[in-house]
Amino acid sequence: MSLEDNIRKVEPYTPGEQPKSKVIKLNTNECPYPPSPEVTKTLNRLDWNRLRLYPDHAMTELTESIADHYGVKPSQVFAGVGSDDVLSMCFLTFFCGEKPVIFPDITYSFYDVWTEVYRIPYETRPLDEDFKIRLSDYLTENGGIVIANPNAPTGRAESIELLEEIIKNNRDSVVIIDEAYVDFGAETALPLIEKYDNLIVVRTMSKSRAMAGMRIGYCFGDEKLIKYLNDVKYSVNSYTLNYPAIAAGKAAIEDTGYFKEIVGRIIKTREHTEAELTKLGFTYFPSATNFIFAKPPEGLEASEVFLKLKENGIYVRYFDKERISDRLRITIGTDDEMHMLIHVLKEITG
């Protein structure tokens, strides 16, 4: 036995680059607009003396306002430090059996990292040629299911009917639907939590609420599942969200007008960008998210376009992975940023 034998070794998740210099940043699906002005006002009014104290471990203010906003009970809500924290807690809590947890082969690349770090057995199921789920793949024995809807990095949304079939036919395992991008064009599975006690629906404030830097995520589920999640959370770290984050999260969730305005703007910019990309010979499936997963025209490698864009100060995401290395994931920025992107792509495609 050596020192090394006692150490947990993992292949970590690789986040998108956060360059220090000023670039057009279309690589991590952040929101190009600032958070709600109500968030800024709330932060400016905080009582900084309260930083002496531990924050409210139950994050009552926040979970109550989330519950109120979505029309559920506070006991059906769990919040964490970004949806990464919420998802990680879900993996730790709900995937404790011997049977493999299943998720698509092309999806959020953190899922297999959590299964590895928590030593959870898992199997992936290949998406079809159109990057869609095959229902029969999820009707086999399993220890849990994770589906991002809309999916990342494909940007594709599944129907709620398909998701319900999966949830309904797997009553003995927890089905997690990761709705990080749902506000940009997919139907939510949230109402199904009243019908199925094996469903968890995960959300984030990082995308449609423009709060990636504040790190707030949350999920919904049956009261019993939420209690199990809290039991695990209180066994790992009782105080997750800090005092400013709890207050800012409440302000963000309550400003529906601003939320609708920025989501609407992003969708409009996405549609315009899709049309421009088509003119340049790029192909893509219609996006239900705040990014487009596009394939460059014949004769141009995605890796090459990625590097050329970078040389021009435009960062997008390239995954050197099987089945998707021929595409680029392009986050929707402001109209000006997308205009610059198209301008540079015109030069590259010549």
Residues that bind ligand PMP in the complex, under the rule CB under 6 A: 82-84, 108, 148, 152, 178, 180, 204, 206, 212, 217
Amino acid at the residue 247: A
Closest approach of ligand PMP to the CB of residue 240, in Å = 12
Task: Take residue 310 and report the two structure tokens written for it.
Answer: 């970078």
- Cβ proximity to ligand PMP: between 55 and 217 the closer is 217
Residue 265 burial (CB < 10 Å; 0-12/13-18/19+)?
middle
298-to-90, 282, 342, 350 alpha-carbon distances in Å: 42, 9, 17, 12
Helix (H, G, I), strand (E, B) or coil at 149: coil
CB of residue 241 to ligand PMP, shortest distance in Å: 12
Smallest distance from ligand PMP to CB 80, Å = 9
Q: Which residue, 27 or 65, is less far from ligand PMP as judged by CB?
A: 27
Among 111, 169, 104, residue whose Cα is nearest residue 140: 169
Q: Which residue has the CB atom at the shortest distance from ligand PMP? A: 82
The residue type of 2 is S
**Alpha-carbon span 258 to 183, nearest angstrom:** 13
- We find the least distance from the C-beta atom of residue 259 to ligand PMP, in angstroms, to be 16
Smallest distance from ligand PMP to CB 213, Å: 9
Nearest residue (CB) to ligand PMP, 178 versus 337: 178
Contact in structure between 206 and 82 (CB atoms under 8 Å): yes
CA atoms lying within 13 Å on the CB side of residue 31: 28
Nearer to ligand PMP among residue 177 and residue 302 (C-beta): 177
> Any idea which residue has 């519950």 for tokens?
67
Shortest distance, position 111 Cβ to ligand PMP, whole Å: 9
Instruction: Between 170 and 204, name the residue whose CB sits nearer to ligand PMP.
Output: 204
**Residue with Cβ nearer ligand PMP (218 or 284):** 218
